[in-house]
Structure formats: C-alpha cells, structure tokens
Amino acid sequence: MVDPNHPTPASPVPAGLQAALAGACGFSDEQLPDPLPAEPFSTLAEWLALASSGRTQPNPNAMTLATVGPDGQPSARIVLARGVDVSRGVVTFYTNYQSHKGRDIEANPRVALCFHWDQLDRQIRVEGLVARCPAMESDVYFRARPALSRVAAWASDQSQPVPSRQALLDKNDATERRFGIGPGSPAKSDMLVPRPPHWGGYRVYASAVELWRGHTHRLHDRARYERTLTPAEVDGTAGYIGGPWRATRLQP
C-alpha cells in the first residue's frame, strides 16, 4: 500500500543525466531590431548564414519537421533545409515521398519547422503548407548528390520495416550492382542513377514565422509574423502565393 505522506521515491537519476537536465541555460543580452523587420525571411537567411559561418554546429541547416497523421497524431524528426526562397517565403527539403512524413504530408499538408542554433541563442519556428517541388528542381538536386547516396535513395524504402541490418546492406549492394556501381564498374557509370519517382523535394510555404532571441533572466525577445496563403500555380506546379506579412512582438 502507498503511504501518501511518504511517496515512493522516483527511481534514481544517473549523475550525468541529472547534470544535463539541470544544465545552466545562460543567454546573452541580444534582442530583435526595434521596429521589427518588415518580413521574417531575410532574418532566416541571415541567421542560417551566421550559424554556418561560425562552424560551431555540424548541421546549421538542420530543422525539426513536424507533420500530422490522418489520425491527428503529430510526429517530428530532423531534416536538412536545402533551399530558402526569401521573396516567396519558402523553405525546401528533400525526402522519400512514401516515408512516414511523406504519407502524413500527402494526407495533411500542414507542417511546422523549428530551427535551433544553440550557440547563437536563436530559434526560428515556421508553420505552413507543403507542396512538392517541380520535378525538374528535384532532378537537379538529386544529380548533385554523391552516387552512393543516389543509390541508397533507390535501395531504402524509408520508414518501412526491414528484417535485419544485413538484409538492408544486401539490398543496397544489389542496387549498386543494378546500376553498375562499385569495384570494377566502368568509370562515370554512377551518372546513370536517375531520381526515383518516390524521392524529391517539398516546399514549405510559410503562413507564420516566429523569430526568437534568448535574453538574460528569461526575458527573451519574440516576434511572430503571419500572412495568408492563396493556392496558385508556382513554377508550373501547385503552390501558394503569400499575402503581406503582419508582425507582432510576443511576451517570452
């Protein structure tokens, strides 16, 4: 029986984890410009460039992508931003269209992104609607990828079960042979790995963006931008045109 005056102590937390959870979260005294910039995407491009120039983070273009399944279940994972279109307010990433995220997006195009640059005390949140990149844009990006990454895009049915690690490696080897890649294969044959039809880019058309700068004593500075999106043909494919941005400063 549990005595309410002496609850069972929680299981002991290892010292290393305790230190991580207690982590002193120090912030500098930076803040957003006042008045706020008229639109948020120039700042997104600027902060990405800053994070990349400092070389303090191996993947400064890493962002959390949150999707929602047909049953309403949210799901989040990291992907890499591969394009930022400042004038359209678009962030592009590449993936397998039949993956968990791909299936979520095809059922519900509403997504959220979150960039976090720890060394810079900065975060950017994006909410919006997704549309596939024009096929030609995905082709150009796919061609620029290393040959073995292109093979892996064929070999991996992303997010599907596999009986063992070895089974996946065997499947990858067989795919390399199919495309004539590997020891003894003719030079340049890797040029022949085309983009799989189930692999390509997604454009996130932002309807809301939040810029965040950390500040001492938790007096962080936040600005939320919103705009409406209207369906339109963009670059020959379905996309959105964004209306004017409205900016609001938020309490931390």
Ligand X SMILES: Cc1cc2nc3c(=O)[nH]c(=O)nc-3n(C[C@H](O)[C@H](O)[C@H](O)COP(=O)(O)O)c2cc1C
**Which parts of this chain interact with ligand X (CB under 6 A)?**
59, 62, 75, 77-80, 93-95, 99-101, 158-159
Cβ-defined contacts of 182-186 (< 8 Å, 24+): none
Task: Render 123-151 in DSSP notation, one character per residue.
Answer: EEEEEEEEEEPPHHHHHHHHHTS-HHHHH
For ligand X, the closer CB: 77 or 249: 77
For ligand X, the closer CB: 98 or 237: 98
> What is the rounded end-to-end Cα distance, in angstroms, of the chain?
44
Query: What is the nearest approach in angstroms of ligand X to the Cβ of residue 145?
Result: 11
For ligand X, the closer CB: 43 or 92: 92
For ligand X, the closer CB: 31 or 75: 75
Query: What is the nearest approach in angstroms of ligand X to the Cβ of residue 96?
Result: 6
Strands (DSSP E) found in the chain: 62-68, 74-80, 83-85, 90-96, 110-117, 122-132, 199-213, 221-226, 229-234, 237-242, 246-250
Query: What is the nearest approach in angstroms of ligand X to the Cβ of residue 102?
Result: 6
For ligand X, the closer CB: 99 or 138: 99
Query: What is the nearest approach in angstroms of ligand X to the Cβ of residue 158?
Result: 5
- Residue 35's closest CA among 179, 247, 229? 247
Query: Would you tell me how many other CB atoms lie within 10 Å of the CB of residue 85?
Result: 15
Query: What is the nearest approach in angstroms of ligand X to the Cβ of residue 173?
Result: 22
